[in-house]
Amino acid sequence: MWIAEQWKDYEVIDCSAGEKLERWGEYVLVRPDPQVIWDTPRENTLWEKANAYYHRSKSGGGSWEFKNLPKQWQIGYKGLRFNLKPFAFKHTGLFPEQAVNWDWFGGKIREAGRAVKVLNLFAYTGGATIAAAQAGAMVTHVDASKGMVTWARENAVSSGLEDAPIRWLVDDCVKFVQREIRRGNRYDAVIMDPPSYGRGPKGETWKLEENIFEFIKLCSELLCDNPLFFLVNSYTTGLSPSVLTYMISETVGKKYKGETMSQEIGLPVTDTGLILPCGASGRWCEI
């Protein structure tokens, strides 16, 4: 498992009975987590003192209960700053486990010894975008949500990267990739974090199980002659590390000499010493 264990401003304190107790800077949250299927004693008193609690509804979705939490606050990671706020379906605007991937590709970019163009698809609030920019890459950030792109730009400003070479685009990712191929544009690296289900800005439908393999294949056409890396993240249960390895190997791996590897990604749990699984990532890189 690849573990995001270098956080200082974030930690999973404990987890039990479908929920996790987290510290985000100076604030403590309780949020549901489908991976936490064990029920162990909740001995940490912070369970009862959380600043906010997301209650899942039996009919689907849920709602926040706020006790003492600002509308927005920040946490940092190795010089990056992220603006957080609680919003729909338990999210805060950041997936801390992705830091293990930021460290990995940040090292690849810094060691490349050349200019690096990165394409970040389904780019959300820009964690990977600003990590790549901080490492020195030129980044194209694409997401179908105008609100998420605005949030990502705010994170870039907070991280001192307002003048970094980042292209911010509100667009349907599939259609954007198709246009880039026709234009003859090429990238040294591709990052994608596709949702299980989603809609584009004009109502385009995305279903992961139906679309992901062909999309990875399509994106492989955007890579330059000597690409640096290719990264696919997944939070969909059916997309195991072995499935990610196979899809990347059959597309990127057949075109370029390199190494394909996939693993679960996770976060350490302070009180128990366990590692909480948080999805999976598939990586290809030059060797």
Whole-model pTM over 0.85: yes
Residue-wise pLDDT tens digits, 108-167: 999 999 999 999 999 999 999 999 999 999 999 999 999 999 999 999 999 999 999 999
The structure tokens listed for 73 are: 């606050």
Neighbour tally for 200: CB within 10 Å? 17
Task: Provide the greatest CA pair distance for the chain.
Answer: 58
**Element housing 106 (H / E):** helix 99-111
Residues 168-192 pLDDT 10s: 999 999 999 999 999 999 999 999 9
Percent of the chain whose predicted confidence (pLDDT) is above 70:
98
Torsion of CA 281, 135, 252, 246, to 10 degrees: -10
Residue 161 near residue 136 (C-beta atoms within 8 A): no
pLDDT digits (tens, 9 = 90+) for 27-57: 999 999 999 999 999 999 999 999 999 998 8
Residue keyed to tokens 């590390």: 241
Helix pair angle (208-220, 241-255), 10° resolution: 30
Which residue type sits at 220? S
Q: Which domains does the chain have, with CATH numbers?
A: 2-84 (2.60.40.1180), 96-285 (3.40.50.150)
What interhelical angle do 127-134 and 146-158 show, nearest 10? 40
Q: Which two tokens stand for residue 66?
A: 């706020």
Tokens read off for 129: 């975008």
Distance CA 80, CA 12 (A): 20
The tens digit of pLDDT for each residue in 61-111 reads: 899 999 999 999 999 999 999 999 998 789 999 999 999 999 999 999 999
Question: Of how many residues is the chain composed?
Answer: 287
Contact (Cβ atoms closer than 8 angstroms) between residue 94 and residue 127: yes
Are 62 and 55 spatial neighbours (Cβ–Cβ below 8 Å)?
yes
Residue type, 185: N
| pLDDT at residue 63, as a whole number | 94
